[in-house]
């Protein structure tokens, strides 16, 4: 029997049991059969996803927490047993939604403190989709509790956090997949394999990465008391305490450097990580950046509205630029990457890629893959980025495969650390007004003690910053 046949046979047996025991209706049966076919569509995996009956927990039940978790539910018969959020309304709404989407139809337990959730030590996989300043401590607690992880990007808000997280994952032998799902985006995999790896670009001399979305808020509302459904003290956690402002929650917290790393930490990391993956690049040897708040000066946001960064990999420079104002040079590629080679040019984004050979010849175009017929719930799911859903599903399959084989996933924590830290170094360079040379072996900036003092942000009491050397 073929691998596809084995998957379908196992899944049909399992589904019959569900029909008998759980009263599954015909529509759910058909959805599961479609999912079984989807499981088999990527034959390089070493496991049958229909066997992945993992117990799952989610920390951070907002926009992308639900997007990630519901994609995982689509590709494996997991049981979501626990979810956690400091917003009572948000966690209750998420529990209701999850009960309609998972096979058991059970509501997960709800928590307001991730430490209480992890005390149960009954989770195989934990997803973390909190604001960035809350990535590190829950991750450390989850791996100590024996869970494998799906961790949203960027992995950390400072470099020392990332070093501690990498050390903890290796110490506890945990699989950690970072949510840089461009590595699992079908048309970008094709661009890497059929354009770059086949030599159609020739020698690549420069890569430009960029974002021209008008995504920085221009509002300046007054501070106010936090809503009753939000534990703002816990939401702030180790970050500096700011007066509550409605911009922050939900989803607007990226406007403030206290909670993240600005647009580099949000958007540059995706494109930089993709370039590193496509070209098999490690750490940059030098990082420099300039910019600031140059145009949108009336907003309450304190992240840059204009920034350029150069990541020097020795034989290749990758140059980032973002503007949250003005027009995009190419409206078709407002957020993406351009590879300049001696034989041609490749433009790529989450929506498509275009290869243009030098001096004429056959151009190649490919659009993003949608899977709306295989997964019809994607059509109506609130706020879902439909073009990203297939990549998240493939990223989840890769995570489950790594868990089964105890191997490294495509976006392993080390790769996430390199991409995260590189963006943090760019922000540090802009703040200090000079280039920074990075010693990857020592984990420090070369000959710059002022820069090295910025590798770890101060934590607000009573939270304690982890020491990478003690993990």
Domain ranges of the chain: 3-181+391-413, 184-385+415-470
CA angle 316, 318, 323 (to 5 degrees): 165
* Tokens matching residue 45: 């995996």
pLDDT at 62: 97
Helix intervals (H) in 264-318: 269-279
Are 271 and 277 within 8 A, CB to CB? no
User: 96-103: long-range contacts (C-beta < 8 A, 24 or more apart)?
Assistant: 97/66, 97/70, 98/69, 98/70, 98/73, 101/70, 101/73, 101/377, 102/73, 102/78, 103/18, 103/22, 103/24, 103/28, 103/32, 103/77, 103/79
d(CA 423, CA 124): 31
Percent of the chain topping pLDDT 70? 91
H-helix or E-strand spanning residue 35:
helix 26-40
Q: Which residue has the tokens 């936090």?
A: 226
- Asked if domains 3-181+391-413 and 184-385+415-470 share a fold, the reply is no
Q: Could you tell me which residues come within 8 angstroms of residue 26 by beta carbon, excluding any fewer than 6 positions away?
A: none
CATH of 3-181+391-413, one of 3.30.530.20, 3.30.390.10, 3.40.50.720, 3.40.50.1000: 3.40.50.720
pLDDT tens, 33-76? 444 443 333 446 877 888 789 999 999 999 999 999 999 999 99
pLDDT tens, 178-196? 999 999 999 999 999 999 9
* Averaged pLDDT for residues 205-220: 98
Architecture of domain 184-385+415-470: 2-Layer Sandwich (3.30)
> What is this structure's pTM?
0.91
Rg (CA), the chain: 22
* Tokens matching residue 400: 């489950």
pLDDT at 42: 41
Q: How far apart are the first and last CA of the chain?
A: 47
* Averaged pLDDT for residues 134-141: 98
Work out the mean pLDDT of the chain and round it to a whole number: 92
* Averaged pLDDT for residues 76-83: 98
pLDDT tens, 331-370? 999 999 999 999 999 999 999 999 999 998 899 999 999 9
* Tokens matching residue 431: 């703040």
d(CA 404, CA 319): 38
pLDDT tens, 4-40? 343 333 344 333 334 333 433 444 444 444 444 433 3
pLDDT above 90 (res 2):
no
d(CA 33, CA 15): 9
pLDDT at 50: 80
């Amino acid at each position: 029997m073929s691998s596809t046949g084995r998957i379908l046979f196992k899944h049909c047996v399992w589904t019959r049991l569900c029909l008998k025991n759980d009263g599954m209706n015909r529509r759910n049966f058909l959805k599961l059969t479609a999912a079984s076919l989807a499981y088999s569509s990527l034959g390089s995996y070493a496991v049958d996803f229909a066997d992945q009956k993992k117990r799952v927990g989610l920390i951070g039940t907002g926009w992308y927490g639900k997007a990630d978790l519901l994609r995982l539910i689509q590709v494996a018969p997991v049981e979501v047993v626990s979810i956690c959020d400091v917003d009572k309304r948000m966690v209750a709404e998420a529990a209701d939604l999850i009960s309609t989407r998972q096979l058991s139809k059970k509501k997960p337990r709800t928590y307001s403190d991730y430490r209480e959730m992890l005390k149960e030590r009954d989770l195989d996989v934990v997803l973390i989709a909190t604001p960035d300043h809350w990535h590190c401590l829950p991750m450390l607690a989850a791996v100590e509790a024996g869970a494998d992880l799906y961790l949203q990007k960027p992995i950390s808000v400072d470099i020392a956090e990332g070093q501690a997280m990498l050390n903890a994952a290796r110490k506890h032998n945990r699989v950690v997949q970072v949510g840089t799902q461009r590595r699992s985006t079908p048309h970008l995999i094709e661009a890497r394999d059929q354009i770059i790896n086949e030599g159609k670009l020739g020698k690549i001399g420069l890569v430009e990465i960029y974002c021209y979305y008008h995504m920085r808020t221009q509002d300046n509302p007054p501070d106010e008391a936090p809503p009753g459904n939000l534990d703002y003290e816990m939401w702030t956690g180790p970050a500096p305490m700011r007066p509550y402002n409605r911009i922050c929650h939900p989803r607007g917290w990226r406007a403030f450097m206290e909670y993240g790393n600005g647009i580099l930490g949000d958007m540059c990391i995706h494109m930089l990580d993709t370039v590193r993956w496509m070209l098999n690049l490690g750490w940059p040897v030098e990082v420099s950046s300039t910019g600031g708040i140059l145009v949108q000066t009336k907003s309450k946001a304190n992240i840059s509205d204009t920034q350029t960064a150069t990541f020097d990999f020795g034989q290749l420079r990758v140059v980032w630029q973002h503007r949250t104002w003005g027009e995009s040079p190419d409206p078709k590629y407002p957020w993406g990457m351009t590879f300049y080679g001696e034989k041609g040019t490749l433009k790529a984004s989450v929506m498509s890629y275009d290869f243009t050979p030098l001096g004429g010849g056959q151009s190649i175009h490919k659009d993003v893959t949608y899977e709306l017929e295989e997964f019809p719930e994607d059509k109506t799911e609130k706020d879902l980025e439909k073009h990203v859903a297939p990549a998240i599903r493939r990223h989840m399959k890769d995570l489950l495969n790594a868990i089964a084989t105890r191997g490294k996933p495509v976006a392993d924590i080390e790769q996430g650390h390199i991409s995260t830290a590189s963006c943090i170094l760019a922000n540090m360079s802009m703040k200090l007004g000079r280039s920074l040379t990075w010693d990857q072996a020592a984990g420090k900036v070369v000959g710059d003690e002022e820069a090295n003092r910025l590798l770890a942000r101060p934590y607000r009491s009573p939270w304690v910053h982890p020491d990478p050397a003690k993990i």
